[in-house]
Amino acid sequence: MTADVDLAFDDNDYLPAVAQDAEDGDVLMLAYVTRKALERTRETGLAHYYSRSREELWQKGETSGNVQHVEEIRVDCDGDALLYLIGQEGGACHTGYRSCFHRTIDGEFVGTQVFDPDDVYE
């Protein structure tokens, strides 16, 4: 399954994808997708990304159970970024916070921790 619009993957075949809560609009995380990750997301309705550090495709929540149900995928005007409108189960951040954007630039914690990562990632 391919996208119905032209997508401008970079030289490494990545596109950034922002995950936004479809209900309240909170930005939860940013990750990267490859063509295969996007295809798996469209096939399953669950968010799939590409880990650049592990160099592998992964389904969000496969280990933690904190899956992302993708309700809609939007493409920016240049075709070089995606927006996943999602229903998030549990926290989106591997550190246990609801959002990966849980700190200000000054280091102040503004987010809510919804699970203990030590209990999930042993």
Nearest by Cα to 70 from 92, 48, 93, 47? 47
Average pLDDT over the chain reads 95
Q: What's the CATH number where 108 sits? A: 3.10.20.810
In a domain, 108, yes or no: yes
In a domain, 1, yes or no: no
In a domain, 9, yes or no: no
Nearest by Cα to 36 from 59, 57, 9? 57
Q: How confident is the model at residue 2 (pLDDT cuts 50, 70, 90)?
A: low
Statement: residue 1 has pLDDT above 70: no
**What distance lies between CA 65 and its chain's CA centroid?**
14
pLDDT of amino acid 4: 80
In a domain, 49, yes or no: yes
In a domain, 3, yes or no: no
Helix, strand or coil for residue 35? Answer: helix
How many structural domains does the chain have? 1
Q: How confident is the model at residue 12 (pLDDT cuts 50, 70, 90)?
A: confident
Name the residue range of residue 26's domain.
15-120
pLDDT of amino acid 3: 61
- Torsion, CA 2, CA 82, CA 100, CA 55, rounded to 10: 40
Q: Looking at residues 9-19, what average pLDDT do you find?
A: 94
- Asked if 43 and 51 touch (Cβ cutoff 8 Å), the reply is no
Return phi, psi of residue 69, to 5°. Answer: -90, 115
pLDDT of amino acid 102: 97
pLDDT tens track for 49-96: 999 999 999 999 999 999 999 999 999 999 999 999 999 999 999 999
In a domain, 8, yes or no: no
